[in-house]
């Protein structure tokens, strides 16, 4: 691997090159406020439980982890981080039969060559000992949500997801995975086609960002 196995928090050498963080930094990261996470998505009829693991710390370790995962060319980080998220979801009472990533917009996916949410979903599924499946597709391109207001975000992603061809989720309990939860607009829009197809949908994200 081209990258040295150094902790993204303290730069200590890591025994496993796919790990992102040493045990000390992992334990010390700021946890997301569970009530704030629930409030973002509680009103949405398509979403059951909502879990986010860490709180964004501008300039801090969570930000560095998310950046490395998304832009740093280290998609392998997603799997061990996903395992941590999966255990947190289980501790929060989430019980599902299948894990699915939020699909990336096609252009962004090609640009980066991978979907960081798919790597996270793989780790979550491993931790929960359930399968992972691509249950959703994008129906149209969307703009980056970063510069948009909450209502513009909802408009931007409304109807942007559909059930993948051949996916049968009727009566299934699905956990939908994204890397960052901000207003909840993307996860809510992605949950909708699954709920409409008869799934019970919970959602989980690695980090909660301030909107
Ligand atoms: Zn460390």
For 183-195, the pLDDT digits (tens) are 999 999 999 999 9
Report the CATH number at residue 57.
Answer: 3.40.50
Residue 61 lies in a domain: yes
Structural domain includes residue 4: no
For residue 105, tell me if it sits in a domain: yes
d(CA 171, CA 193): 13
Ligand 1 centroid vs 196 CA: distance in angstroms?
43
State the residue range of the domain holding 47: 31-208
DSSP string for 87-156: HHHHHTT---SEEEEPPPPHHHHHHHSS-HHHHHHHHHHHHHT--B---EEESS----STT--HHHHHHH
How far is residue 166's CA from residue 9's CA, in Å, rounded to a whole number? Answer: 42
Q: How far is the CA of 27 from the centre of ligand 1 (A)?
A: 9
Classify residue 138: in a domain, yes or no: yes
> Is residue 11, in this structure, part of any structural domain at all?
no
Longest dimension (CA), the chain: 47
Q: How many domains does the chain have?
A: 1
Within a domain: residue 200? Answer: yes
Instruction: List pLDDT tens digits, range 152-176.
Output: 988 888 889 999 999 999 999 999 9
CA of 30 to the centre of ligand 1 (A): 14
Interval 13-72: pLDDT, tens: 998 877 889 999 999 999 999 999 999 998 999 999 999 999 988 778 998 888 888 876
* C-beta of residue 99 within 8 angstroms of C-beta of residue 137: no
In a domain, 5, yes or no: no
């Amino acid at each position: 691997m081209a990258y040295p196995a150094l902790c993204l928090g303290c730069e200590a050498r890591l025994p496993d090159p796919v790990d992102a963080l040493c045990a000390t930094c992992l334990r010390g990261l700021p946890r997301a406020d569970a009530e704030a996470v629930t409030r973002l998505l509680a009103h949405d009829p398509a979403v059951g439980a909502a879990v986010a693991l860490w709180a964004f710390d501008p300039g801090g370790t969570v930000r560095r982890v998310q950046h490395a995962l998304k832009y740093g060319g280290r998609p392998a980080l997603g799997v061990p981080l996903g395992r941590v998220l999966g255990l947190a979801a289980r501790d929060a009472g989430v019980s599902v039969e299948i894990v699915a990533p939020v699909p990336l917009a096609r252009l962004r996916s090609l640009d980066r060559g991978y979907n960081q949410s798919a790597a996270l979903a793989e780790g979550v599924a491993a931790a929960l000992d359930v399968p992972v499946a691509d249950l959703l597709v994008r129906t149209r391109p969307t703009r980056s949500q970063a510069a948009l207001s909450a209502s513009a975000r909802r408009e931007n992603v409304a109807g942007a997801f559909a059930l993948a061809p051949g996916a049968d989720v009727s009566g299934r309990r699905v956990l939908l995975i994204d890397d960052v939860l901000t207003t909840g607009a993307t996860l809510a829009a992605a949950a909708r086609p699954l709920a409409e197809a008869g799934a019970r949908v919970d959602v989980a994200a690695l980090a909660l960002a301030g909107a």
